[in-house]
């Protein structure tokens, strides 16, 4: 699903994902954005279980199943040390920058919620006498194979392919594995972005 916001009185260009999307006004909160994009569910975990050929049920706590708590969709099998970063926490990261003039443009997911992403427009600044309005791109995954990525990019990401292109070409990028200290590391990156988002 994709969200799209209005800038002034105009819809921001065209919605991505082949025209699918929901229009939001500038006052929309991240909680409202998640709700409208159907991303307000949480990731739950349970130990991996399997049944042997004789019908014996086995359980291991070395691996965990990540699944959606709203419909039970399996998102991935992860190691015991994997730390879930909920969608609400991912959006809260950008919420801390809203006071600095950030505007949400797109937020979406693919593969049933295995991967989620958002794009926000940062305050305009002047570089070499040219107006420049970078974007904040945040990508997260719950499949066990996708790290958390945060970057500043000049690209207006409109789909998963352009998101990957923006990440590859970003002049600076923060990548976080889902380990036990991921939340504190996200906090450090947020402080860095807050200082850089202020217009000069």
Residues 152 and 118 in one domain: yes
Residues 72 and 98 in one domain: no
Burial, 181: exposed, middle or buried (Cβ in 10 Å; 0-12, 13-18, 19+)? exposed
Q: What does the mean pLDDT of the chain come to?
A: 77
Contacts of 129 by beta carbon, 8 Å cutoff, 6+ apart: none
Residues 130 and 185 in one domain: yes
User: Which of 49-53, 98-102, 184-188 has the least mean pLDDT?
Assistant: 98-102
Classify strands 2-7 and 22-24 as parallel, antiparallel or unpaired: parallel
Contacts of 32 by beta carbon, 8 Å cutoff, 6+ apart: 24
Burial, 80: exposed, middle or buried (Cβ in 10 Å; 0-12, 13-18, 19+)? exposed
Residues 127 and 145 in one domain: yes
pTM: 0.76
Residue 153 has which token pair? 């990019």
The kind and range of the H/E element at 119 are: strand 115-121
DSSP 15: -
pLDDT in tens, 53-76: 999 999 998 999 999 999 999 999
Q: Where are the alpha helices (DSSP H) in the chain?
A: 16-19, 30-36, 87-98, 160-169, 182-197
Mean pLDDT of the 150-163 span: 81
What domain range includes position 191? 2-39+84-197
Residues 11 and 109 in one domain: yes
Ramachandran sector of residue 129 (left: φ over 0; alpha: ψ -120 to 50; beta: rest): left
Residues 161 and 124 in one domain: yes
Q: Cα(68)–Cα(4) distance, rounded to whole angstroms?
A: 24
**Percentage of the chain lying above the pLDDT 90 cut:** 25
Residues 69 and 110 in one domain: no
Q: Cα(70)–Cα(81) distance, rounded to whole angstroms?
A: 24
Q: Cα(159)–Cα(165) distance, rounded to whole angstroms?
A: 10
Residues 136 and 121 in one domain: yes
Give 139-196 as a DSSP string.
EEESSSS--EEEEEESS---SHHHHHHHHHH-SSEEEE-SSTTHHHHHHHHHHHHHHH
Query: How many structural domains is the chain composed of?
Result: 2
Residues 107 and 125 in one domain: yes
Residues 166 and 120 in one domain: yes
Ramachandran sector of residue 73 (left: φ over 0; alpha: ψ -120 to 50; beta: rest): beta
Q: Which carries the bigger pLDDT value, residue 196 or residue 81?
A: 81
pLDDT in tens, 113-149: 999 888 887 777 766 666 667 888 888 899 999 988 8
Residues 90 and 15 in one domain: yes
Q: Please report, in angstroms and rounded to a whole number, the separation of the first and last CA atoms in the chain.
A: 35
């Amino acid at each position: 699903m994709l969200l799209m916001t209005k800038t002034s009185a105009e819809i921001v260009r065209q919605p991505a994902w082949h025209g699918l999307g929901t229009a939001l006004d500038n006052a929309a909160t991240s909680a409202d954005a998640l709700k409208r994009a159907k991303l307000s569910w949480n990731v739950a975990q349970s130990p991996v279980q399997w049944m042997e050929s004789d019908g014996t049920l086995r359980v291991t706590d070395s691996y965990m199943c990540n699944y959606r708590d709203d419909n039970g969709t399996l998102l991935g099998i992860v190691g015991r040390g994997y730390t879930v970063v909920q969608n609400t926490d991912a959006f809260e990261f950008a919420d801390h920058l809203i006071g600095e003039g950030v505007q949400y443009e797109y937020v979406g997911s693919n593969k049933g919620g295995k991967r989620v992403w958002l794009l926000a427009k940062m305050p305009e600044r002047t570089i070499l006498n040219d107006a420049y309005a970078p974007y904040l791109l945040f990508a997260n995954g719950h499949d066990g194979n996708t790290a958390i990525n945060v970057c500043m990019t000049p690209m207006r990401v409109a789909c998963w392919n352009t998101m990957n292109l923006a990440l590859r070409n970003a002049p600076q990028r923060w990548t976080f594995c889902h380990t036990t200290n991921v939340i504190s590391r996200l906090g450090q990156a947020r402080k860095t972005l807050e200082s850089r988002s202020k217009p000069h």
